Amino acid sequence: MRVSAWLSVVVVATLAATFPSGPTTAQPTASKNADGPPRTIIVLDASGSMLAPVGGRPKIAIAREALGDLLKGWDPKVEVGLMAYGHRRKNDCSDIELLVPAGRLDVTRVMTVVGGIQPKGMTPLSEAVRQAAQSLRFTEQSATVILISDGIETCKADPCAVGAELKKLGVDFRTHVIGFNVQRQDEGGLRCLARATGGTYFSAKDAAALHEALTQAGRAAAAPTPPPVPARPAPNPALPKATLTAPASVTAGSALSVAWTGPNAKGDYIAFVAPGTEGDSGNMTETAAGNPAPLRAPDKPGRYDVVYGNAAGKALARQPIDVTPALATLEAVETITIGGTVDVGWTGPNGPGDFITVVPPAADKSAYRDYADTRNGSPAKVRVPDKADTYEIRYVTGETNQILARRTVVAAPAQVELQAVESAPAGSRIKVVWTGPNNAGDFITLVKPDAARSEYTDYFNTRDASPDGQTLRLPDQPGTYELRYVTGQSNEVLARHRIVATTTRATIEAAANGPAGAHIKVKWTGPNGDGDFITVVKPDEPKSAYGTYFNTRDADPDEQTLKLPGQPGSYELRYVTGQSNEVVARRPITVTAVTATLAAPASAPTGARIRVTWTGPNNEGDFITVVRPDAEKSAYTEYFNTNGTEPEDGKLVLPADPGAYELRYVTSDSEVLARRPIVVK
């Protein structure tokens, strides 16, 4: 049997994404690629819900542990990479990053990256799956997705449609889905995603179940797809009998129970469908979930059928049901300071993905800025924009963006003031005192007066600092700058204060010359700013160049030394600022040549221990060794350091192989100062 090479994508997620629509008619034309090893991408969910506890531990900790166990037993023939989303920004469905490209597994590297990821933001599951599949060329080669989700899709995407589209565009595409601590009535979209692509759904309620589900899914991803079984004519038996008992109507987005009778075979399900149609949808539950079956109503009002379907998508029973519009209410203050958080009391269906947001009154129904999921309870906490204006609080359904309630709120201007000196030396630190709203993400920085509002240099967050005194470092280039108070949402500049950075003064004192490789004493004066350093380089080298150096802030001007280069010539000592490598002081210095001599027997037996005497600079790191005459100048075998060794105490053990060798005196910069031939008998 010919087995094609295949790819797999592992996704650790809380299902939430914005999934742009793709082509729906074009079919992949490339054939399967039979070359190369199987490949996997693990996409780790770092959305805020992964901080929720299961069994007293955060979900993210359980997922890290399960992922580590999975990788320890990973098939070495399968290449693996790592993708994450929601780990850098809050409230951003585009926060997706490929952290480790697919390649040979390095467990330590992958788990180090995983350990540094902290849940913060949204869960753009659909777009993450799309990007992971595209990075592995799923339209050209076989691909498997393993998805771990702790909830439902909340970034305006349909898991069923995602699965269908990827299955249509991909070559032998599958999705295995693991629902981690997901409520039964919310599993419909996850099961549908797996079903649409021919994959398997695993339900994991706790840490042990997650470990087992990951193990099974990993094995499935590492196994080649079996060849299709040729279709055979088969009789068309009568369908089994089934019945349904459901309410005649239900509020959009609400939970309900449906009693049923039927075969309860593997893959049988209860689902909402369009009247007269078959198949399943994102609002479905398998009969294995129990009787009555927990179900979630669509959030779009209208006439539907509830069906009992089998694994082949055939409806064994159906009952019409009306989904009525959901009603919601909102309560909040009428005004709040720009960028502040407003508490919004609400009532509503609390359907999957329902949220409260604040937007301009004319915004489209799908628009949102900061928001709060209704599943987190009432009151909801949302931030108003950081630009003074009139806005609208909205209750929006998660599936179709229906606006169920609106309430006006005014974002009022904030009183902001900055106090600091009017001038200070470039690179020095200045004290800043301020008043302001101190909303999350607000910061104070120093920039050029004409800089864009999104620019910043040294800064501090106002919420984390003391208004009685916080310091900032001035740029190390003299000129006119301004302090700015900047909001964290959209970089609105709420206050400015002009300040002049005056020319920085610095001096360097040192000898006019010194032997190559020697340490010389250096004294200096200067601002000693963060990262400032003194180095020795050629006079014509750029300001960013450096050789040996020391940081001025950490050094003692009365005791500090600097090692000179190993090559003789003209150099200069430089005082360089840490921000932009401005050279604020220079001093010329001449590095003089150094010599060395060696004395030892002309020949000796293999493995003999011989005495070597020498003269030389004896700088730190200088050594004497024995090597072949044609060896690189940095080569060495047996050696001893000349610094700290008396010339009459120098001993070397000769090589075990006979032949012509040479003794060498080598500096710490790998310069050979002396050579002496020796024959090893």
Query: In sequence order, what are the residues at sequence separation of 6 or more whose Cβ sits closer than 8 angstroms to the Cβ of residue 73?
Result: 215, 218
**Distance (Å, rounded) from C-alpha 210 to C-alpha 69?**
11
Least confident of 396-405, 495-504, 506-515, 671-680: 396-405
Split at pLDDT 50, 70, 90, the class of 420 is very high
Interhelix angle 207-222/59-72, rounded to 10 degrees, is 40
Sign of the alpha-carbon torsion through 454, 459, 465, 471: negative
pTM (predicted TM-score): 0.45
> What does the pLDDT read at residue 247?
94
pLDDT tens readout for residues 312-336:
888 999 999 999 987 888 888 777 8
Peptide linkage before 647 cis (omega within 30 of 0)? no
Query: In sequence order, what are the residues at sequence separation of 6 or more whose Cβ sits closer than 8 angstroms to the Cβ of residue 638?
Result: 625, 626, 652, 653, 654, 655
**Distance (Å, rounded) from C-alpha 3 to C-alpha 146?**
21
Q: Do residues 401 and 156 make contact, with C-beta atoms less than 8 angstroms apart? A: yes
Report residue 298 as tokens: 């669509």
> What does the pLDDT read at residue 160?
76
Cα distances (angstroms) measured from residue 127 to each of 31, 88, 108, 429, 598: 25, 16, 27, 45, 70
Three-state DSSP class for 547? coil
Q: Which helix (H) or strand (E) holds 217?
A: helix 207-222
Query: In sequence order, what are the residues at sequence separation of 6 or more whose Cβ sits closer than 8 angstroms to the Cβ of residue 556?
Result: none
pLDDT tens readout for residues 107-123:
899 899 989 888 776 77
> What does the pLDDT read at residue 37?
66
Location of structure tokens 């020498």: 614
> What does the pLDDT read at residue 20?
37
Q: Which helix (H) or strand (E) holds 571?
A: strand 569-576
Three-state DSSP class for 365? coil
pLDDT tens readout for residues 264-275:
998 899 999 989
**At residue 9, what are phi and psi to the nearest 5 degrees?**
-125, 120
**Distance (Å, rounded) from C-alpha 350 to C-alpha 352?**
7
pLDDT tens readout for residues 28-48:
333 444 455 677 777 777 776
Question: What's the distance, CA 52 to chain centroid?
Answer: 20
**Distance (Å, rounded) from C-alpha 151 to C-alpha 518?**
66
Least confident of 22-26, 227-231, 363-367, 487-491: 22-26
pLDDT tens readout for residues 595-653:
999 999 999 999 999 999 999 999 989 999 999 999 999 899 999 999 989 877 899 99
Q: Do residues 556 and 534 make contact, with C-beta atoms less than 8 angstroms apart? A: no
Length of the chain: 681
Location of structure tokens 């399960």: 66
Report residue 363 as tokens: 């915004």
Average pLDDT over residues 168-180: 79
**Distance (Å, rounded) from C-alpha 587 to C-alpha 508?**
6
DSSP state of 313: S
Question: What's the distance, CA 161 to chain centroid?
Answer: 27
Three-state DSSP class for 351? coil
**Distance (Å, rounded) from C-alpha 98 to C-alpha 82?**
6
